[in-house]
Amino acid sequence: MKTPLNFGWKFVSGFRDEYLKRLPSGSVSVDIPHAPLVEPVSYFNEQSYQGLWTYEKTFDAPGFDPTRQAAFLTFEGVMLKVHPYLNGDDLGERVSGWVPVRYDIASSLRERGNRLLVVVDSREDPEIPPFGKAVDYLTFAGIYRPVRLDLVPLAHIGSLHASASMDGRLKIEAEAVGPAEGASLSFALFEGGELIKRFSEKETTIDHPDLWSVSEPNLYTLTATLVSPYGKDERSIRIGFRDAAFDKKGFSLNGKKTKLIGLNRHQNYPYVGPALPAGAQRDDAEILKLKLGTNVVRTSHYPQSEAFLDRCDELGLMVIDEVPGWQYVGKDKAWRDNYYYFLRAMVEKERDHPSLIAYGIRIDESADEDELYQKANDYVHKADPSRATLGVRNFKGSSILEDVYAYNDFSCCGREHGIDDPKTWRAKGHATLVSEHNGHMYPTKQYSGSVRRLEQALRHARVIDDAFKFGDLSGVIGWCAFDYNTHQDFGSGDHICHHGVYDIFRAPKAAAYVYASQNSSTPVMWVANPPVTGDNDEALLKPLVVFTNCDYVELFRGAEFVEAFRPDEKGYPHMPHPPIFIDDFIGRTFKEGDIPPKAAAKIKKALNLVGQTGMAHLGVKNLLPYIPTILRRRLSMERLVALYYKYMSGWGEKAVIWTVRGYRDHQPVIEKRFGPSVRFSYRYDASSQNLNNGDTYDVSRVTIKFVDEFGTTLHYCSRVISFETKGPIEVIGPTSVALLGGDVSVYVRSKKTDRREEARLIVKTDLGDYPIDFTVE
């Protein structure tokens, strides 16, 4: 029997010996997951959360009988070290960080009135990875993943693992613990609640299984049952029948070659670091798969929440995990022992997820450490031979001990070059994968100018195009999905690395639509640089860049049709859906009776060139193709200037309304309008309006955007909004915030309730109050 222990804890900063008997009167009530400090989203001192913290929980264990039952206490994630005391018994300090720790508590547990005291040490310890040198991410503090009590018969199932192949073969590893006399172990396989097979062998075959894939992530439930004189113990895991294989020709899933296109993810949320429950973890997976359309995520640089991985299983989002670390490898025995500890715990924790396709066993971007990594590689191959091993480095010609040679390729410094040819890596015939690209090479904020937001997006597009150019490359995984907090040594000086295609509040930047346009089944069309001339140097009207999966788009100036534009297959010949460049703002609107069509075509090109380049930057070489036409038609400078202002809507002229319309199969499917902003409003969206208190409290991400009458997010808006709540909910973090880049999100959590209740978040703005209703169960 599993009993969650996540509601109704007491908490106090620091630790003193007298807390072993009683917490001070200043203790506060908290729920798990919990962050000891609610930090600002930026500009804070990471030393503030590095310390000791004390938690207390009282609970009952009804019916517990130590002569017939075993009892275990599991912490899924505590940053960094956990030291529990149960009913005065010292259970010992252990390292948790990113992996679960389990205590045998049968000798200390009572049926009633158990007092659990937990001391958390969140100080960065140089003997524990990733510490020992500067680290480009924060680890934060507290009991940030769920806690549970397990009561099982004395004879019980200690571990259960399985590997399932696309041909229907199922191999099971199940360990029975405790008195073996009279015990029998059997298995049952279910799909969607329907029994598929009962059996007692640890190897069996299923005829024609429904395969787990990116498009159809079919899941089965394997249940092991151990019956003994001490009772019945059951344990279940979800599995998927699939084959995932890397070789020098690339990656294949179920025998089909598949290009991996994805992003790295840090488990970092505003104000509380990683300390958010399953709802937020699932939401991140849904953003990656359903909104961005990626097919793989790398859990940089540590094992991540089971709730996140579970949702990846359900969505068909493949996962590459990674052992904790970053660049530094300690030489002392304690550091290296902790590295191996994390590696073993990661494999034990994650090996049953069908979404997991490879283990990242090398410290990210570390130097060659052949002895260390050969031992790790051998261990993983023996513990789970069904998956590949992968090593990430940031230099070429590295030792290659793992199955996959992964390389952080940051050679993209503009639009012309994406990644180096993998042949230059000297991967010695191994599978190759770009494990990081872009990121710190071009940090971009949500409130950066449109030119910078566009440039970040085009750099990601160039890398994705190169991924398809190099056919034998397994894929590319960008740095990164979401902006994240970092140490003072990194980032933009504000304790944030603005490297994501989404910001830390989970608002998409232009680069997000590069990914979304490649795989989404629904129409995607994002104009990355709206036609606002004043946002460009010299008030130029630069070509519009559209990230879309439409066949083509049409541009309208007011009600007039300008021209149709198709994907730039010449500039981006390999990616599924190249961007579209709208570089003609005159098109068919040009109507001058004294200028025939052939000459008109030249004049239109000249006017567009001036509008996009500026007269000051036009050399004679640029103008040469158009001078003969101008001379033949005897067009004066005054006439040319008049044509420019008439058709290009230049500086000093009234702005016009532009419309971009996307088409599939010659049918309009999506449209976006742009024009001068004169009417404004806020838009609101909640990831869920049903909050369910299960093992932990629940959360919803509420996004607030400031838009104009055309629905365009106004990136330079920083108005202040505030929040009020009614009913069993509360806001995580400050209740008054400024918009960043025209939008912001707030996480709303449920409070404990014994019945279904209604709740309301009231967003208070300069334009009035807006209520968002929730149901809490």
Q: Which residues contact 364 (CB under 8 A, 6 or more apart)?
A: 300, 301, 322, 325, 326, 327, 392, 408
436 is catalytic: yes
Distance CA 543, CA 359 (A): 43
- Single out the residue of 659, 661, 709, 664 nearest to residue 682, CA to CA: 709
Alpha helix (H) residue ranges in 173-323:
278-286, 306-315
Strand, coil or helix: what is 110? coil
Of 387, 384, 393, 331, whose CA–CA distance to 363 is shortest? 393
Residue type, 340: Y
Beta strand pairing call for 260-264 and 296-298: parallel
Nearest to 418 by CA among 432, 433, 435, 437: 437
CA dist 218 and 294 (Å) reads 18
Q: Residue 176: beta bridge partners?
A: 157
Catalytic residue among 365, 402, 554, 563: 365
* Helix axis angle, 510-519 to 450-469, nearest 10°: 30
DSSP single-letter state for residue 613: H
DSSP state of 63: T
Q: Is 365 a catalytic residue?
A: yes
Pick the catalytic residue from 436, 455, 554, 563. Answer: 436
Phi, psi (rounded to 5 degrees) for 259: -85, 125
CB–CB of 268/138 below 8 Å? yes
Strand spans (E) along 25-68: 28-30, 52-59
Sign of CA dihedral 619, 625, 629, 632: positive
Q: What are phi and psi of 243, to 5 degrees?
A: -120, 125
| Crossing angle (nearest 10°) for helices 370-383 and 333-350 | 20
Residue 392 · residue 408 · CB < 8 Å: yes
SS3 track for 467-498: HHHCCCCCEEEEECCECEECCCCCCCCCCEEC
Contacts of 31 (CB under 8 A, 6+ apart): 6, 7, 8, 9, 696, 697, 752
Tell me how far CA of residue 589 lies from CA of 131, 532, 545, 586, in angstroms: 63, 20, 21, 6
Q: How distant, in Å, are the alpha carbons of 505, 522, 711 from that of 517?
A: 22, 9, 20
- Closest by alpha carbon to 233, among 241, 223, 225? 225
CA–CA distances in Å: residue 314 to residues 219, 238, 252, 293:
7, 10, 20, 15
The backbone region for 567, taken as left when phi is positive above 0, alpha when psi lies in -120 to 50, beta otherwise, is beta
Of 349, 378, 385, give the one whose Cα is nearest residue 361: 378
318 vs 265: CA distance, rounded Å: 13
| 95/157 Cα distance (integer angstroms) | 24
Active site residues per annotation: 365, 436
